[in-house]
A and B are shown apart, each in its own frame.
Chain A
Amino acid sequence: GENVEQHPSTLSVQEGDSAVIKCTYSDSASNYFPWYKQELGKRPQLIIDIRSNVGEKKDQRIAVTLNKTAKHFSLHITETQPEDSAVYFCAASPYGNKLVFGAGTILRVKS
């Protein structure tokens, strides 16, 4: 089955700097890669996703890149703000199958 590894487990950045979180997956059949943000005491929320037929996707300050050959994908947050502080989870799945989540990254943006 699919296995997703996520790094780093914690990340501290200064406000305005960029943050990068990386995930690797094992199942070459996986073709859907979402990212979730979970603020303290709240539910995980989908912030961006990418499918295997696309190499990069951007939404304002957030971007996700996918390297199918190396089986890894990354979340990039530019111009970080204090409200970006949260736990971020990556996930992967083959078409329609259940998502397999990474262990999460605690992002702290220091002002």
Chain B
Amino acid sequence: EADIYQTPRYLVIGTGKKITLECSQTMGHDKMYWYQQDPGMELHLIHYSYGVNSTEKGDLSSESTVSRIRTEHFPLTLESARPSHTSQYLCASRTGAGGYTFGSGTRLTVV
């Protein structure tokens, strides 16, 4: 089924660890986005990409990086996790000027 998939669904990790959150979509969308969201709260844009080898930083300052080597894949990496990174991370994609399709999210806890 065409959709956007995020793994892992839940992650508990120690401070200082490097982690990568995976996001893949099977819809052929060219635009992809990463948002940080505390439960039920505002969506903060972290990074986005308009195509392969294109990445931009969003509005929320974050010690994270992204890559877009393939159209369908847009992983987010935290080089050194901190308790302040504890949150939900949502990946989204869209084609053209339509609405976003969101993934189910990764709930990250840094201890």
Chain A residues near B (Cβ < 8 Å): 32, 34, 36, 38, 40, 42-46, 49, 87, 89, 93, 95-96, 98-99, 101, 103-104, 106
Q: List 26 A-B contacts (CB under 8 A).
A: A34-B99, A34-B100, A36-B99, A38-B40, A44-B43, A44-B90, A44-B102, A46-B99, A46-B100, A46-B101, A49-B98, A89-B43, A93-B97, A95-B97, A96-B96, A98-B31, A98-B33, A98-B48, A98-B58, A99-B100, A101-B42, A101-B43, A103-B41, A103-B42, A104-B41, A106-B40
CB-CB under 8 A from A40, the residues of chain B are 40
Chain A residues near B96: list those with CB within 8 A: 96
Per CB-CB distance, the 6 closest pairs between chain A and chain B, nearest first, are A46-B99, A43-B102, A34-B99, A96-B97, A101-B43, A103-B42
Residues of chain B within 8 A of A32, CB atoms compared: 97
Nearest CB on B from A18, distance (A): 23
Q: Name the residue on A nearest B40 (C-beta).
A: A87
Report whether over half of chain A's contact residues are helix, strand or loop; otherwise say mixed: strand
Known: A93-B97, A98-B58, A101-B43. 11 other contacts (CB 8 A): A32-B97, A38-B40, A43-B90, A43-B102, A46-B100, A49-B99, A87-B40, A96-B96, A96-B97, A98-B31, A103-B41
Q: Max chain A CB contacts within 10 Å: which of B41, B96, B100?
A: B100
- Taken together as a complex, chains A and B put the C-alpha atoms of A27 and B48 apart, in Å, by 20
Q: Which residue of A lies closest to B95 (CB)?
A: A96
Residues of B within 8 A of A96 (CB): 96-97
Q: Considering the complex, which residues of chain B in the window 70-103 have a beta carbon less than 8 Å from any beta carbon of chain A?
A: 90, 96-103
- Check A45–B102 contact: CB distance below 8 A: yes
Structural contact, A104 and B40, CB atoms closer than 8 A: yes
B-chain residues with CB within 8 Å of residue A89 when the two chains form the complex: 43
Are A43 and B105 in contact, with the CB atoms below 8 A? Answer: yes
Q: Which chain A residues lie closer than 8 Å to B104 at the CB level?
A: 42-43
CA distance A102 to B12 in the complex (A): 29
